[in-house]
Structure 1
Amino acid sequence: MQVVGVTTQQEVYVASKDRKFRINEILVLEDRGLDFPRGEVVETLSYNRLIPMGLDKSVVDTQVIQSLEQIGYDIGSDEVNLAKLRLFSEAPHPVRTGVPVRAPRFEEVRRLLVKADPEEGMVLGEIRGTEALGETLDEDLKGQVRLIEDGEWREQRGVPFLFDIKTMQQYPHIGVFGGSGSGKSFGLRVILEELMKLAIPTLVFDPHFEMSFGDKVPELADESPSFDNRWMAVQVGREVGIHFADLSTRELVSLVGASGGGLTDPMTNVIQSLHKRGDNYISFSDRLANVAQAIEEGEKGLKKRLHDEDLTPTEAERIKDLLELLPQYGSLPLASVKGVQWRLNRLEKAGLFTHDIRVIEQGLEQGRLVVVQGDSWVLQVFSTYVITAVYKKRREYRDARMNGEEGVFFPPFVIVTDEAHNFAPKGVDAPPKRVLKEIAQEGRKYGAFLMLATQRPTLLDETITAQLNTKFVFRTVRGTDIATLREETDLTQEEGRRLPYLRSGDTFISSAVFGRTLFVRIRASYTHSPHVANPFDELRAVKAERDDRVLKVVRDCLPVFDTDLVDVTTQINRECGLSWEVTRFKQELERWTAEGVIIKKESPFVTRYDAK
């Protein structure tokens, strides 16, 4: 292998007659004047006499071809393997043409590829193009990962990708991007497993109910770490919620606004006028309902009812209470009062005010991964409250330490969410967007970090996207998203063209820590999602199981005549928990007949279904 053609301080071409180049592999240029610079193969191609050259459409220019011919290549008959090499560090002057090129030993490139020890870093996968380094790999890096490729399990062959979680102090926040089926959720699961291994307090908002870590992958059961005491799942409205009495007026305004697409100024005024310190849900909602009724009936209507002869003392007392509300709150717009009332009732029906967040706080204090599950709109509302609460606790502790005070310790933590464009959309207000932007810009000073995953990076708030110093880019097909990712990373034009064709589980990792983009195969996860079953296999299995139950009842009744259908249908519904009608049962009998499960005999007078 040797350098050919015109060279620059950033890129060179390398040619070989007998060695094919691998994309993303690392090579060493034996140019002593530049202290043996190293580079990565970013494009590669082969020419032979059976294929037209097509120089005008190739990455190879005429000068490269002339250089090849001068050093002895027969372009007409030899197979010529060419690679474009991008140097890791810009050289002070161009590389000398003709210098030999060789594959490196691992010790020569370890500092470029490995930034952490396996015990302290997150072991996420294998760096593509490093297979040639496998034999010279240091012992502590061998056998760190197992991978699944084309449905087959394989052992690690190259250099493992280790992400140093400590570097987030300097380069905070992670973005995980990729389309449906790209491996984005799978990669997110692997990252969360590594956070659990390191006992990093993590708060995950899971709108898809898929972040469960109790089901182990059978092939890795023996080597999988136990996550039993390292994670917990809670559901909004069941185990966690918001303690209403702890809400300030400002927090209540934000919360109610989040439940229904924001508040008008009159609605905000309603809450500020009616909410009192220490209110619980019942006291505030009752006051709200009473004010609405008083305004709706008006002073004349209430006084008219007060003179009703059939009025009980209790009812009279209530009307007097409503009349007392009018001087203070009668000027509030009725539509605004009812708008607040509707939004508050929506939150209450979702179970948001039946619990508190102490369970979440305790989980984070114990270094656990806490998965918060719920419908998307509920999570948006709840996340606003809980993120603000835990960030406030962490910030108060750090501020106290800076002022020389003791403070109540609250641990640093990572906030993770899928469908992040719903939590912090570009150009649109969303409940948690304000606090997420604040953490994106200032969180690293206090030990609060973000990990945001989305299929649509174009729809994510630009301020937040710009603060994501490490980006995992899985297969992406939309041109607008690819353009956004190229703007936000150092992906080359060639890597951008490869994005729509990446295999599931392959990802480009653009990291400020490495100063360049790495191509990585994500390792096999130790656990799998509860939604891992193929829905078509599920359909077949459920159908077969139902048929078995029904046929067991039917066989006990055979032979079945037309005149028996009503009685047999009733028995099937009772014993199998179904709600079939006679027409449906007859359709199933015809299907089983066609499948050869039972036989059908017809006569001029009656149809009979019998055992085969």
Structure 2
Amino acid sequence: MQVVGVTTQQEVYVASKERKFRINEILVLEDRALDHPRGEVVETLSYNRLIPMGMDKSVVDTQVIQSLEQIGYDIGSDEVNVAKVRLFAEAPHPIRTGVSARAPRFEEVRRLLVKADPDDGMVLGEIRGTDALGDTVDPDLQNRVRLIEEGEWREQQGVPFLFDIRTMQQYPHIGVFGGSGSGKSFGLRVILEEMMKLQVPTLVFDPHFEMSFKEKVPEWGTDAPDFADRWLAVQIGREVGIHFPDLSAKELVNLLGASGGGLTDPMSNVVQSLHKRRDSFQSFSDRLGNVAQAIEEGEKGLKKRVHEDGLTPTEVERTKSLLELLSQYGSLPLSSVKGVKWRLDRLEKAGLFTQDIRAVEQGLEQGRLVVIQGDTWLLQVFSTYVVNAVYRKRREYRDARMNGEEGRFFPPFVIVTDEAHNFAPKGVDAPPKKALKEIAQEGRKYGAFLILATQRPTLLDETITAQLNTKFVFRTVRGTDIATLREETDLTQEEGRRLPYLRSGDTFISSAVYGRTVFVRVRASYTHSPHVSNPFDELRAIRVEQDDQVLRVVTNHLPIFDTDLLDVLTQVNRECGSNWEVHRFKQELERWTSQGVIVKKESPFVTRYDQPLQERDN
């Protein structure tokens, strides 16, 4: 192998007659003047005499071809393997053309590939193109991961990819991007498993109810860690909610705005006017309802009612209190009061005000991963409150320490969400967006970090995207998303062209820690999602189960005459929990007849369904 063609301080071409190059493999260039620089193969081609056309439009140009011919390659008959190699560090001057290239020994590239101690870092996968280093990998890095490729499990062959979570202090926040089926959610699961292994307090918003870590992958056997005491799943309205008396008027405005597409200025004024410190839900709701009733009936109507005959003392007092409310708040628009009441009732029906966030705070204090589950709209509302609450606690502790005060300890934490473009969309206000932007810009100083996953990076707020110092880029096919990712990372043009064709589970990791993009195969996860079963397999299994249930009942009643169908159907519906009609029952009988499960015999007077002849003989 040797360097050919025109070289630069960043890229060279390497050619070989005998050896085919592998994408992303590492080569050492034997240029002594530059202390043997190292680089990564970013594109490779093989030529032979049967495919001579188009050379000037691909990896190599005419100058490279001329260089190959000058050093003895027969372009017309030899198979020529050419690789484009990008140096890891820019050289002070171009590489000397003609120098040899070779595969490195692991000790020569360990500092380039391994940035964390294997016991303290997050073991996320295997670096692609490092298979040749497998035999020389240091013992502490061997057998760290297992992988799944083409549906088959395999052991580690190359160098494991280790992410040092401590570097987030300097390079905060992680983005996980990829289209449907790219392995994005799978990769996020692996990241969360590593967070649990390191006992990093983590808050996860799960709109798809898939971040469960109960079910272990059987293939791992006893090698899989036990996460039973490392995570906690809570649902909004069941285990967690918002303690209404703790809400300030400003926080209540934010919550109500999140529940119904934002509040108008008159609605915000209604909340500011009617909310009182330490209000319970019931007291605030009653006040809203009473003010709405008072405005609707008006002063004349209420005064007229006071003087009506037959009113009880209680009714008189209530009418007088409505008049008093009208004098205080009569200037508020009725539509705005009703709009606030509707939003408040919607949140109450969802169970948002039945609990508090103590379980979330305790889970974080214990170093656990806390998964909050709920519908997307409800998660948006709740996240607005809980993110501000835990971030405020962390800031108060850090600020107290900075001022020499004791302060109540609250741990640093990581906030994780899938479908992040719903929580912080570009160009549109969303309830949690302000809090997430503040953490994206200032959270590093206080120990608050983000991991945001989305299929559509183009739709994510640009300020937040720019603060994601590490990006996991899985298969992406939409041109606008690829363009966004290339703007936000150091993905090359060649890597951008590869994005639509990546296999599920392969990812480009653009990290400021590495100073370059690393191509990684994500390891097999220890656990799997409760939604992991194929829906078509599920459909087939349910259909077989239903058939077996009904056939058991039908078989017990064979032979069945068409005059008996209603009686048999009643028995089928009772024992199988179905709700079939006679027409549906006949269709199923005909289907089983065509499959040979039962036989059908017709006569001028009656139709009979019976067992196949061989079964009757038995």
TM-score range, shorter chain: over 0.9
Structure 1 CA distance for aligned equivalents of residues 53 and 19 of structure 2: 19
Tell me the amino acid that sits aligned with residue 413 of structure 1: F
Q: Which range moved further: 602-611 or 104-113?
A: 602-611
Gaps of 5+ in 2: 613-618
Matched position secondary structure for 2:260: coil
Structure 2 CA distance for aligned equivalents of residues 459 and 391 of structure 1: 25
Tell me the amino acid that sits aligned with residue 508 of structure 1: F
Aligned counterparts, 1:393-412, within 5 A? 393-412=393-412
| Aligned match of 1:37 | 37
Tell me the amino acid that sits aligned with residue 402 of structure 1: M
Tell me the amino acid that sits aligned with residue 272 of structure 1: Q
Q: TM-score, normalised by structure 1?
A: 0.99
Tell me the amino acid that sits aligned with residue 234 of structure 1: V
Matched position secondary structure for 2:94: coil
Matched position secondary structure for 1:221: helix
| Aligned match of 1:52 | 52
Instruction: Give 4+ residue runs of structure 1 displaced > 6 Å after superposition.
Output: none
1:552 shift after superposition: 1.4
Aligned counterparts, 1:434-513, within 5 A? 434-513=434-513
Structure 2 CA distance for aligned equivalents of residues 325 and 221 of structure 1: 68
| Aligned match of 1:169 | 169
Q: Is the 8 A contact 2:255 2:381 kept in 1?
A: yes
Q: Which range moved further: 35-44 or 47-56?
A: 47-56
Matched position secondary structure for 2:223: coil
| Aligned match of 1:564 | 564
1:315 aligns with 2:334: no
1:13 shift after superposition: 0.7
| Aligned match of 1:589 | 589
Aligned counterparts, 1:570-609, within 5 A? 570-609=570-609
Q: Is the 8 A contact 1:12 1:95 kept in 2?
A: yes
Q: Is the 8 A contact 1:45 1:83 kept in 2?
A: yes
Deviation track 1:213-252 (CA, whole Å, cap 9, x = no partner) reads 0001100022000000000100001111000000011100
Aligned counterparts, 1:78-89, within 5 A? 78-89=78-89
Tell me the amino acid that sits aligned with residue 153 of structure 1: W
Aligned counterparts, 1:186-335, within 5 A? 186-335=186-335
Aligned counterparts, 1:304-383, within 5 A? 304-383=304-383
Q: Is the 8 A contact 2:52 2:76 kept in 1?
A: no
Tell me the amino acid that sits aligned with residue 328 of structure 1: Q
1:143 shift after superposition: 0.5
Structure 1 CA distance for aligned equivalents of residues 441 and 509 of structure 2: 22
Matched position secondary structure for 1:401: helix
1:577 shift after superposition: 1.6
Tell me the amino acid that sits aligned with residue 164 of structure 1: D
| Aligned match of 1:28 | 28
| Aligned match of 1:131 | 131
1:534 shift after superposition: 0.4
Deviation track 1:395-433 (CA, whole Å, cap 9, x = no partner) reads 100000101111000111000000000000000000100
| Aligned match of 2:95 | 95
Structure 2 CA distance for aligned equivalents of residues 552 and 58 of structure 1: 66
Q: Is the 8 A contact 1:196 1:231 kept in 2?
A: yes
Structure 2 CA distance for aligned equivalents of residues 383 and 584 of structure 1: 48
Pairwise CA RMSD:
0.9
| Aligned match of 1:116 | 116
Tell me the amino acid that sits aligned with residue 589 of structure 1: L
Tell me the amino acid that sits aligned with residue 383 of structure 2: S
Q: TM-score, normalised by structure 2?
A: 0.98
Tell me the amino acid that sits aligned with residue 529 of structure 1: S
1:317 shift after superposition: 2.1
Structure 1 CA distance for aligned equivalents of residues 55 and 146 of structure 2: 42
Tell me the amino acid that sits aligned with residue 563 of structure 1: T
Deviation track 1:511-546 (CA, whole Å, cap 9, x = no partner) reads 000000000000000000000000000001011111
Q: Is the 8 A contact 1:47 1:53 kept in 2?
A: no
Q: Is the 8 A contact 1:249 1:275 kept in 2?
A: yes
| Aligned match of 2:615 | none
Q: Number of matched residues?
A: 612
1:313 shift after superposition: 2.8
Q: Which range moved further: 576-585 or 378-387?
A: 576-585
Tell me the amino acid that sits aligned with residue 35 of structure 2: D
Structure 1 CA distance for aligned equivalents of residues 595 and 211 of structure 2: 41
Structure 2 CA distance for aligned equivalents of residues 577 and 391 of structure 1: 51
Matched position secondary structure for 2:240: coil
1:315 shift after superposition: 2.1
Aligned counterparts, 1:494-533, within 5 A? 494-533=494-533
1:311 shift after superposition: 2.5
Deviation track 1:229-284 (CA, whole Å, cap 9, x = no partner) reads 00010000111100000001110011111100000110000000000001010000
Deviation track 1:380-402 (CA, whole Å, cap 9, x = no partner) reads 00001000000000110000010
Matched position secondary structure for 2:40: strand
Deviation track 1:148-189 (CA, whole Å, cap 9, x = no partner) reads 001111111100000000000000000000000000000000
Aligned counterparts, 1:72-83, within 5 A? 72-83=72-83
Deviation track 1:447-481 (CA, whole Å, cap 9, x = no partner) reads 00000000000000000000000000000000000
Structure 2 CA distance for aligned equivalents of residues 488 and 222 of structure 1: 41
Q: Is the 8 A contact 2:418 2:452 kept in 1?
A: yes
Deviation track 1:468-495 (CA, whole Å, cap 9, x = no partner) reads 0000000000000000000000000000
Structure 1 CA distance for aligned equivalents of residues 272 and 58 of structure 2: 68
Structure 1 CA distance for aligned equivalents of residues 100 and 212 of structure 2: 52
Structure 2 CA distance for aligned equivalents of residues 351 and 607 of structure 1: 57
Structure 1 CA distance for aligned equivalents of residues 58 and 437 of structure 2: 44
Matched position secondary structure for 1:222: helix
Q: Which range moved further: 602-611 or 106-115?
A: 602-611
Q: Is the 8 A contact 1:253 1:268 kept in 2?
A: yes
Q: Which range moved further: 576-585 or 143-152?
A: 576-585
| Aligned match of 2:15 | 15
Structure 1 CA distance for aligned equivalents of residues 566 and 315 of structure 2: 57
Gaps of 5+ in 1: none
Tell me the amino acid that sits aligned with residue 167 of structure 1: T
Q: Is the 8 A contact 1:221 1:526 kept in 2?
A: no
| Aligned match of 1:6 | 6
